[in-house]
Amino acid sequence: MAHGPSTYTPKTGFERWLDTRLPIIRFVNDTIITFPTPRNLNIWYTFGGILAFILGIQIVTGIVLAMHYVANAGLAFNSVEHIMRDVNYGWLIRYVHMNGASMMFLAVYIHIFRGLYYGSYKAPREILWILGVIIYLLMMATAFLGYTLPWGQMSFWGATVITNFFTSIDSLIPHLGTAITEWLWGGFAVGDATLNRFFSLHYLLPFVIAGVVVLHIWALHVPGNNNPLGIDVKTPQDTVPFHPYYTVKDGFFLALFVLFFCAVVFYAPNMLGDPDNYTPANPLVTPAHIKPEWYYLPFYAILRSLPNKLLGVIALFGSIGTLFFVPWLDTSRVRSSRFRPVYRQFFWILVVDCIVLGYIGAQPADAVWHLGGTEFPLVWLGRLCTLYYFAHFWVVMPIVGWIETPRPLPDSIAKRVLATTPAE
């Protein structure tokens, strides 16, 4: 979306002086205030701004927590209790940070599925999508590292299980996987050196995420926003300035999201946590059911669905790596699923599939359903859901794009929005 020449005019002597030396006000005016934005963006497009807000909250609260946290295997658990009980408002800062991770993943999953539904990954926005997937990967790494820091039972055993993934490489190249695992541990088991490394990386990665977010926003400003119709901006009537139209709209939905966030923090802060993590880490006692945080559960189910450890790890990383190829796997010339009646059905099947995978990941590995007196192992349902997950991207997307006859597209955004018949 071509923005055209700058419309900013300095109004005071100071603004003219600054504009000739550091045109930061002009930059803000052109990239935020007057930036032409499609006039039909709906509620689902507000989650990008919500994610930026939560990232800022996580960085600020994380810095404060780091001032009181002790990255030592013998002191880490007690230092967290010190934050909760002795530091002024330490309980609030920790609960905001702890639940902020869940809020961020909730928002990012909505953001991702919105992009998939409206085809926001298709040309010319491939780089925008790829940068988003990189941000998602960095979020997953950062959240895992942070989950180990309280050094409770689930923290310790979660770190042990996840880092042991690399030992599966031994079946391909003997001793290589073990060597990588011990290098990550800084010894022959998860311990003090591991905790120090994880703390350092957990502190660093949010700033890396912030840097990639800047690139993500930059990549967004080159072609401009996609929109629910999935058609290009053709005339000035198709757009409105970002301010005040979308600053007010985004601010309203951000306020609603913050209210929901506060309700969780103040009334159910441990709702998404595991009680075992309030027990100090003990290498001699393994929890009965080791499971990750809720936002990893679909991938954990994919990992467990395959009986071979190496194949499970490959499927786990492949399920995330697949997202990088989505812009080229979708062969349809139409972006938005609003005009793709066949693919739209498969999209909702994918949403249900991911929810079911999350449910399976939360259950014990040997869990069964009792159906009419017959026991049905959930691992088989997990295998079916895993099969569909990969089939959706590698089979359904290309084939449906070739055979589907999409509905006619509107002539322009403005005509659709201003039409007398209500938009779909």
Quote the percentage of the chain above a pLDDT of 70: 98
Mean pLDDT (whole number) for 237-263: 97
Residue 225 sits in the same domain as residue 177: yes
Residue 45 sits in the same domain as residue 27: no
Residue 13 sits in the same domain as residue 23: yes
Q: Is 164 contained in some domain?
A: yes
Residue 27 sits in the same domain as residue 86: no
Closest CA to 48 of 134, 97, 110: 110
Closest CA to 193 of 164, 201, 81: 201
Q: Is 424 contained in some domain?
A: no
pLDDT bucket at 2, cuts 50 / 70 / 90? very low
Residue 10 sits in the same domain as residue 71: no
pLDDT bucket at 418, cuts 50 / 70 / 90? confident
Q: Are strands 374-377 and 239-241 parallel, antiparallel or unpaired?
A: unpaired
Residue 3 sits in the same domain as residue 133: no
Looking at per-residue confidence, does 420 or 414 come out higher? 414
- pTM comes to 0.95
3-state secondary structure of 232: coil
State how far the Cα of 220 lies from the Cα of 32, in Å rounded to an integer: 12
Say which CATH number the domain at 48 has. 1.20.810.10
pLDDT confidence of residue 3: 62
Residue 303: count other Cβ atoms within 10 Å of its Cβ. 25
Q: Is 98 contained in some domain?
A: yes
Supply the DSSP string of 258-286, one letter for each residue: HHHHHHHHHH-TTTTS-GGGGSB--TT--
State how far the Cα of 352 lies from the Cα of 329, in Å rounded to an integer: 21
How remote is the C-alpha of 173 from its chain's centroid? 33
Mean pLDDT (whole number) for 393-419: 94
Residue 21 sits in the same domain as residue 73: no
**Residue 423: pLDDT above 50?**
no
Residue 384 sits in the same domain as residue 249: yes
**Residue 417: pLDDT above 90?**
no
Q: Is 319 contained in some domain?
A: yes
**Residue 1: pLDDT above 70?**
no
| Lowest pLDDT segment from 49-63, 259-273, 301-315, 367-381 | 367-381
Q: Is 225 contained in some domain?
A: yes
Q: Is 340 contained in some domain?
A: yes
Q: How many domains does the chain have?
A: 2
State how far the Cα of 45 lies from the Cα of 267, in Å rounded to an integer: 28
Residues 223-241: tens digit of each pLDDT:
999 999 999 999 999 999 9
**Residue 163: pLDDT above 60?**
yes
Which residues does residue 144 pair with via DSSP β-bridges, in sequence order? none
Residues 66-88: tens digit of each pLDDT:
999 999 999 999 999 999 999 99
Residue 168 sits in the same domain as residue 295: yes
Tell me: cis bond preceding 124? Omega within 30 of 0 counts. Answer: yes
Cβ 195 vs Cβ 340: under 8 Å: no
3-state secondary structure of 405: coil
Look up tokens 């055993």; give the residue: 157
**Residue 245: pLDDT above 90?**
yes
183 residue type, one letter: W
pLDDT confidence of residue 420: 46
Residues 267-310: tens digit of each pLDDT:
999 999 999 999 999 999 999 889 999 999 999 999 999 999 99
pLDDT confidence of residue 38: 97
Domain of 201, in residue numbers:
35-418
pLDDT bucket at 35, cuts 50 / 70 / 90? very high
Residue 103 sits in the same domain as residue 16: no
Q: Is 423 contained in some domain?
A: no
Residue 7 sits in the same domain as residue 77: no
Q: Is 214 contained in some domain?
A: yes
pLDDT confidence of residue 422: 53
**Residue 193: pLDDT above 50?**
yes
Residue 147 sits in the same domain as residue 255: yes
pLDDT confidence of residue 123: 95
Looking at residue 103, the DSSP 8-state letter turns out to be H
pLDDT bucket at 147, cuts 50 / 70 / 90? very high
State how far the Cα of 192 lies from the Cα of 189, in Å rounded to an integer: 9
Supply the DSSP string of 163-213, one letter for each residue: HGGGGGGGGTSTTHHHHHHHHHHTSSSSSHHHHHHHHHHHHHHHHHHHHHH
State how far the Cα of 214 lies from the Cα of 316, in Å rounded to an integer: 28
Mean pLDDT (whole number) for 97-103: 98
**Residue 343: pLDDT above 90?**
yes
Look up tokens 């869990």; give the residue: 367
Mean pLDDT of the chain, nearest integer: 95
